[in-house]
Chain A
Amino acid sequence: MQIPLTLQFVNLLASMLLLIVFAMLGQRRILSLINLFAWQGAVLALSTFIVAFSTAQHHLYYSAGLTLLLKVLVLPWLLHRLIRKLNVKWDVETLLNIPTTMLIGIALVIFAFNLAAPISQLSQGITRGLIGIALASVLLSLLMMMTRRKAISQVVAFLSLENSLFFAATSATQGMPLVVEFGIALDVLVATFIFGIFFFRIRETFDSLDITHMEKLKDD
C-alpha cells in the first residue's frame, strides 16, 4: 500500500511536531523554549500549506499564511520582547525533574495513540497517526503547563496546546471554516497580550514570576 507523498510529508511533519513538543518538555532555557515554539509554528504552517496544496482548499493557504505570520513571527517576537522587558532569561524551573516528565510524556503518548485508534479507524482517508499525534501533543502541552513553575513557560505551553489543536483541525480533518480560524488566531493574539499584562502585574505584586507564590493569595 503506497501512501501519497504529500500525506507522507504531513506524517513526517506531524512527528516533527511531536518531537518539538518533547523538546520543549525537556528544555531548561526560556529562550530556547520560545525558539522551539517558533519552529513549531513553522512546521504547522508548512503542514497546513501542504494540506492546502494536496486537497486544493484555498482557504487553507490563508490559514497557513496566518500561522506563519502570527506564530512564527509575531508571537515569538512578543514573547522575546516580554522577557527582555521583564528581564527573566534564567533557566526554567520545573516541578518534576526532566527525565521523569519525559517518562510520563511517553506514557501519555501511548495513551493518546490508543485513544485515537478507534477514531481514526472511523474516518476514511486519514492515516491513523495524525489524530493520535495531535492528541498526544495536546496532552504533552498540558503536562508542560502543569510541571512548569514560571508563568512564561506556562504561556508557551498554552500556545503549543493551541498549535496542536490547530494541527488536529487542519491536517487531520482538513480544516475548519476560515472565519473560525481567524477568530481563534485573534483570540490567541489577544490572550498573549493579556498574559503579558498579567506578567507585569504578577511581578509587581510578588517581585517574581514564580507562580508558586500565588499560593499566598488564598484565604487562610
Chain B
Amino acid sequence: MDAFSILPLDVAGGVVLLWMVLGVFGLALQRSPNLICSLVFPSGALASLVLAATGFWALLSTPDIAVLPLGLPDLPLHLRLDTLSAFFLILLGIASFGVSLYAAGYFKHMKGDMLGLLCLEYHLFLASMALVLLANDAYMFMVAWECMALSSYFLVTTDHKIPDIRRAGYLYLLIAHVGALAILLGFGVMQGGHGIGAYTFDAMRAAHLSPYWASAAFLLALFGFGAKAGVLPMHVWLPEAHPAAPSPVSALMSGVMLKTAIYGILRVTFDLLHTQIWWWGVLTLTLGLLTAVFGVMFAAVQGDMKRLLAYSSIENIGLLLVGIGLTIIFHAYHKDALAALSLTATLYHSLNHACFKSLLFVGTGSILHATGERNMGRMGGLIHSMPWVAALMLVGVLAISGLPPLNGFVSEWLLLQAFLLSPGLPNSYIDMLVPVAAAVIALAAALAAYVMVKFYGVIFLGQPREKILEHAHDAGRWERTGMSWLALMCVLLGLAPVFVVQQIDHVSQLLLGAHLGNAAAGWMFLTPVDTERASYGPVYFLLAVLGVMLATVWVVHHFYHGRLRRGSAWDCGYPEQTARMQDTAEGFGQPIRRIFEPFFKIENELPTAFDAHPKYNGRSDDRLWHLLYLPLKYLIEKLSGWVSLLQHGRIHLYLTYTFVTLIVLLIFV
C-alpha cells in the first residue's frame, strides 16, 4: 500500500472529527433550532452510517495503527482499528444512525439555547464513544472514557431544574468515577511498572504478568467496566439515570454506552492479558447470572416505562456477562471452537441489544411526548392513536423477548447451543455449573417475555386510562424513520444470522485464534457445529409461518363468509366496564412480586375499611440499596466527619500541619 491510500482508520477518525465539528456547529446555531434539527442531527446520522460502513471495511482488512502528535510528552495518543474495535464501531454506527434520525424529530420543540448545548454534548458523546473503541493506549482510553462519562452526565441532566434528575446524574457520575478509578488502576497493574511508555496497549500485550497480577488486573477491569455496564451490585445508577435522560440519550446510553464496557472487558481479558484463568470465567458467569435474574425480576415490578427498560438492560448485560464468562472458561480449558461459539453469541447479543433497546427507548420518547407521562399505569390503548409507534415497538418487544424469527432469538439460540455442546470439563463443579446456568438463562428469557407483555400490553393495548390519551399524536416523520431503521435492523439481524456470524468470525479469530464458521454451505441455515447437531433457518421459518398463516386466512375466507360486526365487549356479561378495571403495571407485576418476595423490599400502604378516599400504594425497593449503599454512605460520612476535625479555619493551624508533615517526611526520607 502506498502512503496516500485511505485506510479505515482515517475514515473513522474523520467521522469522529465530523461529529465534534457538528457539535460545535450546533452550539453556534443556537438561534435557529430548526436548522439544528433538520441539518445537524441528520448529518450526524449520515456520519454514523459512514462509520458503520467503515467498520465493515475494517473487519476485512488488517489492523491499522496511528500515532497522533498530541498527548503527553512521552506518550503520544495511539489509535488502532482492529476487528474488535471494528465490530463495536459497526454497532455504534447502526444504533446511532437510527437514534440520530429520531433525535432530529424528537428535539424539535426544545428551546434554542438548550438545544445547542445538547447538540454539542450529544455529538461529543458519540465521538468519545468512538474514541474509546479506537484508543490504543491507556491515556487515550481514559481521556475518551472520561469524556464519554462527562458528556453523558450532562446529557442525563438536561432537565437539571428537576431535583430528582440532578440526584440521578450525581449518582451516575459518582459510580462512573469509582469505575474509572478501578480501570485506571487496572491499567497500572497491566503496565507492570515499566514507566510511562508502557501505558500503550502494545506494551501491555507484550508484558507477561504473573497469574496473581493478571488476576488483579482482571478483577479491577471487571469491577471498573462492570460499574459502567450496570453489573450487580454496581447497577444502582442505571435505573435512575436512564429515565432521567431524554429518550434518544437513554437509547444511546443503554444501546451503545453499556456495550463500550463490554468492549472494555473483552479488550482487557482476551487482548491485553495473555492468559485467561478458569475462575475468572466462573466469577463472570456467576455475576452475569445474578445480574440477569435480578434485572428481569425488578423489571417485572416497575411501573415507570423507562425504569422498566433500564432494568431490562441490566438483565441483558447479565446475559452478555454470562457469554463472556463461558468464553473465558472454554478458552482457559482450550476448547477453542466452543469459546468461539460463546463469544459469537455474546457479540451477536450486544449488537441485537443495541438495536432493540434503542428502538424501545426512543419509542418511549414518542410516548412521553404524546402523553407527557412515564407511568404506565396512566396509559393504555395507544395502539389506536399511535399506530406507527405501536407497530414498530411490537417488533422491538418481540425481538427482546427472544422470539423467532427476530434477532433476539438468534443470540439466545447461540448461547444455549454453547451450553448444550459443552463437553465434560475437567473440573466437575464447573461441569455442573453449566446446566444450572443454562436453566437460569432459560428462566430469565421466559421472564423477559412476561416483562414485555406487561410493557406492551399496559401501554398500547386496552382502553385509555386517562382522558388526555385519546388525543395522543403519533410520532413525526423523522422519528418514524429512525425507529423504522432500528426495527428493520432487528428483522434483518434475525433473518441473516449466517452473514452476521461470518463477520463476527473475524473478531473471534483475533481474540481467540479460532472461529466458528458455518458447517452447512449457503446462507439459509445457521449451523454452528455441524448439520446433525443443530441448525436454524430463520428465513424458512418465517416463510413457513407466513405461508401457513396466509393459507389459513385464504381457506377460512374462501370456504366461509368473512362477515364481521362490531359490538360491546363481552367480558363474561359484566355490563359496567371502565378503564380502571384493567390491570395496571403494578397489578400485572404482582405475581412476580409475590413469588420473589424475599428479593424485594416491599412497602405497602393499604387503606383501612373506613377511609372515604382509599389510597393504595405499593413500592418495591432494591434491597441492595439498603444493605450495601446506605451503610457505605453512612461509613463514608462518618469517616469524612473525622477528617473534618482537622479543619478549623485558622491559617496558622494549617501551617502547623504542613510543618509537621515536612518534619515527618524529613525523618523518614
Contacts and interface: CB of A to CB of B under 8 A. Distances in A.
Assess A/B contact in the complex (Cβ within 8 A).
yes
Interface of A: 106, 110, 113-114, 117
B212 interface: no
Interface in B17-31: none
B433 to A, nearest CB: 9
B interface secondary structure, majority: helix
A114 B426 CA distance: 12
A54 B280 CA distance: 47
A101 B290 CA distance: 19
Interface of B: 428-429, 432, 436
A110 B436 CA distance: 10
10 contacts: A106-B436, A110-B429, A110-B432, A110-B436, A113-B428, A113-B432, A114-B428, A114-B429, A114-B432, A117-B428
* 8 A-B pairs closest in CB distance: A110-B432, A114-B428, A117-B428, A114-B429, A114-B432, A110-B429, A113-B432, A113-B428
Nearest to A106: B436
Contacts of A110: 429, 432, 436
A106 B435 CA distance: 12
A106 B428 CA distance: 15
A30 B224 CA distance: 53
Contacts of B428: 113-114, 117
A182 B428 CA distance: 38
A113 B428 CA distance: 9
Contacts of A114: 428-429, 432
A65 B71 CA distance: 87
Contacts of B429: 110, 114
Contacts of A106: 436
A121 to B, nearest CB: 11
Contacts of A117: 428
Nearest to B428: A114
Contacts of A113: 428, 432
A113 B436 CA distance: 15
A110 B433 CA distance: 9
B270 to A, nearest CB: 29
A126 to B, nearest CB: 18
A190 B436 CA distance: 42
A117 B428 CA distance: 9
A21 to B, nearest CB: 19
A117 B431 CA distance: 13
A117 B436 CA distance: 19
A207 B207 CA distance: 75
Given A106-B436, A113-B428, A117-B428, 4 more contacts: A110-B432, A114-B428, A114-B429, A114-B432
A106 B439 CA distance: 12
A113 B432 CA distance: 10
A143 B429 CA distance: 21
A192 B341 CA distance: 57
B359 to A, nearest CB: 35
Contacts of B432: 110, 113-114
Nearest to B439: A106
A116 to B, nearest CB: 11
A113 B435 CA distance: 14
A119 to B, nearest CB: 13
A2 to B, nearest CB: 20
A110 B432 CA distance: 7
A117 B432 CA distance: 13
B385 to A, nearest CB: 43
A114 B428 CA distance: 7
A25 to B, nearest CB: 18
A106 B440 CA distance: 13
A106 B432 CA distance: 11
Contacts of B436: 106, 110
Nearest to B432: A110
B447 to A, nearest CB: 15
Nearest to A118: B428
Nearest to B431: A114
Nearest to A114: B428
Nearest to A99: B595
B334 to A, nearest CB: 22
Nearest to A117: B428
Nearest to B597: A97
B104 to A, nearest CB: 50
A106 B436 CA distance: 10
A110 B439 CA distance: 15
A58 B432 CA distance: 39
A69 B429 CA distance: 40
A75 B627 CA distance: 49
A113 B429 CA distance: 10
A106 B429 CA distance: 13
B438 to A, nearest CB: 14
A94 to B, nearest CB: 15
A110 B429 CA distance: 8
B597 to A, nearest CB: 10
B648 to A, nearest CB: 55
A113 to B, nearest CB: 7
Nearest to B433: A110
A53 B282 CA distance: 45
B435 to A, nearest CB: 10
A141 B186 CA distance: 48
B432 to A, nearest CB: 5
B595 to A, nearest CB: 9
A114 B432 CA distance: 9
B469 to A, nearest CB: 40
A185 B432 CA distance: 36
A101 to B, nearest CB: 14
B365 to A, nearest CB: 39
B342 to A, nearest CB: 22
Nearest to A109: B432
A60 to B, nearest CB: 31
A65 B428 CA distance: 38
A114 B429 CA distance: 7
A114 B436 CA distance: 15
Nearest to B598: A100
B278 to A, nearest CB: 16
A114 B427 CA distance: 10
B401 to A, nearest CB: 24
A190 B297 CA distance: 50
A49 B186 CA distance: 63
A80 to B, nearest CB: 35
B594 to A, nearest CB: 12
A11 to B, nearest CB: 19
A29 B432 CA distance: 32
A9 B394 CA distance: 51
Interface centre among A106, A110, A117 (most CB of B within 10 A): A110
A122 to B, nearest CB: 16
Nearest to B595: A99
A90 to B, nearest CB: 24
A88 B432 CA distance: 41
A173 B432 CA distance: 26
A192 to B, nearest CB: 36
A173 B78 CA distance: 67
Nearest to B429: A114
A18 to B, nearest CB: 15
A111 to B, nearest CB: 9
